[in-house]
Structures are given as structure tokens and as C-alpha cells.
Structure 1
């Protein structure tokens, strides 16, 4: 399922996973202020993704799906947000500043799209909308580690690369792919065109999120 979704929007997928923002992280020459802007907005992004996983509990057809959604909510609220705050502190970002931030247009567009797909569609539609972020970051980290121009020694973004390229996150992404495939298998093959559109739209919004960081746009 996941590979079919990517293949249906390969040009957009490549533009997302090989974006100039990503290349800047790989080389270590992404301007500091661009990364800081991204980190601030990503904090707000995670809050809405916790809501999306909470919605997946409501949309779930099985206890197993409900537990998966709960794991997502717990992981974000009890772990990822705390790690994000600690990481942002290292970059000179005050946690209070993040709590009072205004969302950028790119953040609003992406997070509200995911929630809308979840509200209007099934749990599969929601997982499809989530997957470019959840699984895409794992693929991006692997892509970075495969490039000849990637610099790891002395790279200020090394910990970001290590986090998403590490075994824990890679396993998390693999589980998300399995969950998506299992949920889709219970649906109809005729739904694929709708899933493909959602996946492409979410991928395009991911491109916009990177570009927001690069342009320092509000």
C-alpha cells in the first residue's frame, strides 16, 4: 500500500524527501535561523498530530487500532514534546516562547488538512494523511545517510539525523506502514484513488512545511 501511494506521486515525493531544507541538514550548512523556525513550528505541529491520533481512536474499528492510536497520543504527549523542548533549548529556544507562538500558514494548512481527512473519512484516510510525515522522516534520514555530500562529523544537525535514522524511529515507521496496510486491507480496492490523492496532498503540504522553514515565512 505505502509503496503504491509513493509511486502514485513520485515527483512530489522526491521533492519532499530531497528538498533543499533536507540537503542543508545533510551538509550541515542550513542557516541556524531556518532550523530554529522549523523547530518552533514543529512543536505546534506535534500538538495537532496528538489530536489526530486521538481522533484515530474514535475512528478505530478494532481494539488493536484503538491501542495503536493511544500509543501515538502517549508517545507525543509524554515523550516527543518533552524531547522537542529539550532539543529546542539546545538551539536557544525558550519553551515559553513556543507555547505562545502563532502558527505559520504552512503549519495550519497541513495540520488542519490531516484532521479534516480524519473527520471526513475513515481511519484509513487518517493514517494515509499521517504517513508522509510519520514514515517520510525515516526515509529522509536514510536518504541523507546514503548521500556522498552528507557530512556527519561536526554537523550541527547530526542529532536530528541520528534520531530519525536510528533503529527506534525506523522501527516506529515500519510499524506505521504495517498498520496502514492492515487497515487498508479491510477496505475496498476502489478506494485507492482517494487514498492516493490524500497522500499526494499531504506530501505537497510537507514540501510547503520545509519551504516555510527555508523562507522563514509566517
Structure 2
């Protein structure tokens, strides 16, 4: 399976993500709330642009079913995920206006520019290879730190993280992996996009921890 090989190749990057202090402290409940607030503001901006990139990918889909997959992901991002974020923002004393006014940091800008350029210029499956690390790594982070989360004393952290342990989220990751595994493309062809996005995921956590 192409996705199994992609995951294996990216393991060194992903292990750094699992051990990143933002991730570890968030799941343990020791992350300063101001760092989490900064992350939420940045991630809201990310989601807006992520949906735009998915819409671009839909236009490059080789068939209606795959176009539907990309559009459903885009729709889910701007409805369900953003609604969840609005609730989280309120819980930490922020508003949607705060999120809309927040200036994206340089990693955020660069990551989004990368995704949108891939989805505007490359093939559909290359786009999906670039999207997959975001979805998949969040699921694995939650699995790796499941025991920490169970003892996490911060309710908003538990609420945020529990999404990535849900059966629905696991099914989504499985669906996206299936799209790539059925593409007929080799891991070698998909690797540059999967690797770059994995690196951006690591850098996004670092930027959130540093606050810039």
C-alpha cells in the first residue's frame, strides 16, 4: 500500500511531532492556555485556506466521485470544523472576530501557499498526498498520547483532542488513505508532497509553541 510506505518514510518527522513540547504539554494538560489560544487563532486561519485548497483540488479530480470527496471535505471544514472552533474560541475567551483579525504567522502563510499551489498546478492525487499528513498525524498524535489525555485536567484540551479519537475521524483518515492507495501512483511519486506537508505540520507546532 502506498500510504503505508509514505507513513514509514515519514516516521522520523512524525516521531518529532509526537514528542514536540506543544503536543506533549497539550495532551498532559500543562500547556499554558495562552499558547493554546495562539494555536487556535492560527489554526482557524489555516482551516479557511485549507478549504480553499480542497476546492481547488476538487476541480482537478479525475471523476465525479473524487470531486465529491474533495468538496465534502471542504464543506465539512467550513461548517462542522469551523463551528467546533467557534465553540472552542468562546471557551477560552476569544471570538470569531479575534480569529478573523489574527495575522497568520510565516509558517502558516507558507504552508497554505504550498497547499494551494499544489492544488492549482499538480494532479489531484498529489493534492491528496499533501492533505493527508494533516488528517492522519492528528489521529496518530491522539493515539500516542491517549493515556495522557485520560488524565488531562483541562476540559477544553480534552474536548479538542477527543475529536481525533472518534470513530468518525478514524473513518475519514481511512477513506483518504483509500483514495491514494487506489490511485495507481507509487509512494515514490507521492512522497515529495507527503514529506513536505509532514514537515510543515512539525513546523506549525513549533511556530505555535514559540508564538510567532
TM-score under structure 1 normalisation?
Answer: 0.91
TM superposition shift of 1:17: 3.0
Match of 1:14 in 2: 15
Distance between the aligned counterparts of 1:154 and 1:18, measured in 2? 20
Q: In 2, distance between residues paired with 1:64 and 1:19? A: 37
Identify the residue that residue 96 of structure 2 maps to in structure 1: 95
Q: CA deviation at 1:2?
A: 1.5
Match of 2:136 in 1: 135
C-alpha distance in 1, partners of 2:71/2:106? 28
> Contact (CA 8 Å) 2:42, 2:108: kept in 1 or not?
yes
Q: Is 1:132–1:203's contact at 8 Å kept on the other side of the alignment?
A: yes
Aligned residues: 210
Aligned 1:137-156 pairs, distance under 5 A: 137-145=138-146, 147=147, 149-156=148-155
Aligned to 1:214: 209
- Partner residue in 1 for 2:192: 197
Secondary structure of the equivalent of 1:29? coil
Structure 1's 214 and 180: CA in aligned 2 closer, same or farther, altered over 3 A?
same
Q: Does 1:34 align with 2:10?
A: no
- Asked if 2 retains the 8 angstrom alpha-carbon contact of 1:16 and 1:203, the reply is no
Structure 2 unaligned blocks of 5 or more? none
Equivalent residue, structure 1, for 2:127:
126
For structure 1, list consecutive stretches of 5 or more residues without a partner in the other structure.
none
2:178 is matched with 178
Change over 3 Å in CA distance of 1:139–1:92 after alignment to 2: same
Partner of 1:82: 83
CA–CA distance in structure 1, aligned partners of residues 104 and 152 of structure 2: 34
Q: What is the TM-score when the length of structure 2 is the normalising length?
A: 0.93
- In the TM superposition, residue 151 of structure 1 has moved relative to its aligned partner by 4.8
Runs of 4+ in 1 over 3 A off after TM superposition: none
Deviation at residue 21 of structure 1 after TM alignment: 1.1
In the TM superposition, residue 96 of structure 1 has moved relative to its aligned partner by 0.8
What residue number does 1:166 align with? 166
Give the Å deviation of 1:154. 2.2
Partner of 1:114: 115
How far 1:159 moved relative to its partner? 0.8
Residue 120 of structure 1 and its aligned partner are, at CA, apart by 2.4
CA distance in 2, matches of 1:29, 1:168: 28
